[in-house]
């Protein structure tokens, strides 16, 4: 007779010979009742007697639920009984939680299967119609590919400016229309009025006087005269004044880090966005004119895109947005920014804002190293298995 049969027969053997042993005689029942098994669970400090479960529900001596036999009998100490009861209920709760977790996990996996053909979660900071760029093999520096990335940068900059210029209260379009109506004549004609939110003013990228002022502001900054330097950058970055994209980037950085001023991350994002928008407008004109290498504001555009990516990644002045951060980093990286190359490589390596892809990570890390921005300890990127020939198609 097995151990399980003995455990099932034990409740019946305690009932004065009633049960299965009745037909075999009292002596035989006594022999069956003699063995006792004690299960003990212990650790360094405690020891607890475990009582195994009995027969299935409804198979008790009187047809009652055998679950009542899960607890210890009255001969056991009260401490063991309480611990057994609480542990039994705790175990039931844990099993229930485990079951619910399994069910929810299974549902999530099913949901993922149903969405395999769809793109990852979208971001309001990234246009839905952002053109896909396919890199031909060995053409990282191809002029046509760089042209596509520059167009992509202008699209991102315009979308970002659109989001930043949209206030939470009445939109700019409504205020603009109201101003339009107030200045309209009786015949319905109207004259363009300035918006309460100043937009970028069209003009030259720079001039000799502006360049000299920028150099002076940089000199003041390096000399430790941060307040004077930031004030000069602020004057050059004013949208109603010089509206210089490079000054807007540098003034935005000063506001972000508090160089000679009170830190204001939100205002920093506004100036970085203005710089990206202004530079994108200039570059768009250059692209339309057929300049494959871009115009005079390409450097400012790339710098602004990279700094906006940092804002999206770290949540400086705006909510964190991994998807936007990865897209901005990758755009700046493909336009020559070596810091962006390392950052987008990290995004691919860690799966930040995108799926993990060690092949893409290795490619960008190698590109950054070839351009003089090496990260110590990244020897794995040169392994053959992460080479272009083994990249995932």
- Residues 296-309 have pLDDT tens digits of 888 999 999 999 99
* pLDDT score recorded for residue 79: 42
- Residues 272-283 have pLDDT tens digits of 999 999 999 988
- Residues 157-202 have pLDDT tens digits of 888 878 776 654 443 443 334 344 333 444 444 444 333 334 445 5
- pLDDT over threshold 60, residue 260: yes
* pLDDT score recorded for residue 285: 84
Distance, in Å, from the CA atom of 234 to the CA atom of 250, rounded to the nearest integer, reads 9
Please tell me which of 22-26, 40-44, 73-77, 104-108 the model is most confident about, judged by mean pLDDT.
Answer: 40-44
Q: What is the mean pLDDT of residues 8-18?
A: 51
- Residues 338-360 have pLDDT tens digits of 999 999 999 999 999 999 999 99
Distance, in Å, from the CA atom of 224 to the CA atom of 303, rounded to the nearest integer, reads 23
* pLDDT score recorded for residue 322: 96
Question: Do residues 309 and 328 lie in contact, with contact meaning Cβ atoms separated by under 8 Å?
Answer: yes
Distance, in Å, from the CA atom of 269 to the CA atom of 382, rounded to the nearest integer, reads 37
- Percent of the chain beyond pLDDT 90? 39
Question: Do residues 164 and 252 lie in contact, with contact meaning Cβ atoms separated by under 8 Å?
Answer: no
Residue 120 or 389, more confident: 389
Which residues lie across from 195 on neighbouring strands? none
Q: Which of 47-61, 88-102, 206-220, 246-260 has the lowest mean pLDDT?
A: 88-102
- pLDDT over threshold 60, residue 105: no
Q: What is the mean pLDDT of residues 119-137?
A: 73
Candidate CATH numbers 1.25.40.10, 3.40.50.720, 2.60.40.10, 3.30.365.10; the one for domain 143-160+205-336: 1.25.40.10
| Overall size of the chain counted in residues | 393
- DSSP annotation of 57 reads T
Residue 274 or 14, more confident: 274
- pLDDT over threshold 50, residue 318: yes
Q: What is the mean pLDDT of residues 39-59?
A: 73
Residue limits of CATH 1.25.40.10 in the chain: 143-160+205-336
Question: Do residues 245 and 300 lie in contact, with contact meaning Cβ atoms separated by under 8 Å?
Answer: yes
Distance, in Å, from the CA atom of 391 to the CA atom of 70, rounded to the nearest integer, reads 59
Residue 58 or 132, more confident: 132
* pLDDT score recorded for residue 98: 39
- pLDDT over threshold 50, residue 387: yes
* pLDDT score recorded for residue 137: 57
Q: Which of 134-143, 268-277, 284-293, 369-378 has the lowest mean pLDDT?
A: 134-143
* pLDDT score recorded for residue 176: 39
Distance, in Å, from the CA atom of 242 to the CA atom of 211, rounded to the nearest integer, reads 11
Residue 143 or 97, more confident: 143
Q: What is the mean pLDDT of residues 106-120?
A: 45
Q: What is the mean pLDDT of residues 36-60?
A: 73
DSSP annotation string for 237-294: H-TTTT--HHHHHHHHHHHHHTSSS---HHHHHHHHHHHHHHHHHHHHHHHHTT-TT-
Label residues 328-361 b or e (16+ Cβ within 10 Å = b).
Answer: bbbbbbbbbbbbbbbbbbbbbbeebbbeebbebb
């Amino acid at each position: 007779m097995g151990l399980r049969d003995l455990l099932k027969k034990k409740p019946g053997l305690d009932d004065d010979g009633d049960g299965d042993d009745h037909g075999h005689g009292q002596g035989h029942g006594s022999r069956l009742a003699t063995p006792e098994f004690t299960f003990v669970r212990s650790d360094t400090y405690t020891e607890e007697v475990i009582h195994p479960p009995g027969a299935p529900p409804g198979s008790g001596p009187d047809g009652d639920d055998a679950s009542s036999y899960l607890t210890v009998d009255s001969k056991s100490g009260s401490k063991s009984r309480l611990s057994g009861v609480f542990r039994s209920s705790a175990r039931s709760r844990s099993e229930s939680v485990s079951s619910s977790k399994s069910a929810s996990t299974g549902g999530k996996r099913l949901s993922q299967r149903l969405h395999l053909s769809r793109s990852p979660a979208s971001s309001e900071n990234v246009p839905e119609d952002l053109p896909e760029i396919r890199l031909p093999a060995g053409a990282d520096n191809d002029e046509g590919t760089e042209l596509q990335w520059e167009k992509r940068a202008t699209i991102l900059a315009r979308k970002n400016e659109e989001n930043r210029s949209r206030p939470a209260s009445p939109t700019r379009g409504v205020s603009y229309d109201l101003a339009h109506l107030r200045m309209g004549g009786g015949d319905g004609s109207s004259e363009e009025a300035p918006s309460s939110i100043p937009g970028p003013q069209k003009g030259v990228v720079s001039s000799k006087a502006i360049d000299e002022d920028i150099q002076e502001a940089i000199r003041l900054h390096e000399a430790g005269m941060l307040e004077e330097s930031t004030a000069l950058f602020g004057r050059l970055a004013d949208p109603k004044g010089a509206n210089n994209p490079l000054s807007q980037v540098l003034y935005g950085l000063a506001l972000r880090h508090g160089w000679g001023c009170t830190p204001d991350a939100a205002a920093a994002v506004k100036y970085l966005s203005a710089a990206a928008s202004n530079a994108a407008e200039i570059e768009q004109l250059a692209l339309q004119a057929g300049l494959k290498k871009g115009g005079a504001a390409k450097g400012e555009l790339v710098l602004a895109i990279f700094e906006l990516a940092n804002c999206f990644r770290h949540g400086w002045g705006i909510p964190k947005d991994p998807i936007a951060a990865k897209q901005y980093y990758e755009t700046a990286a493909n336009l020559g920014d070596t810091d962006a190359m390392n950052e987008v490589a990290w995004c691919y390596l860690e799966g930040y804002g995108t799926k993990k892809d060690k092949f893409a990570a290795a490619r960008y890390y190698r590109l950054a190293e070839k351009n003089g921005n090496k990260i110590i300890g990244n020897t794995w990127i040169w392994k053959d298995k992460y080479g272009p020939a083994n990249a995932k198609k």
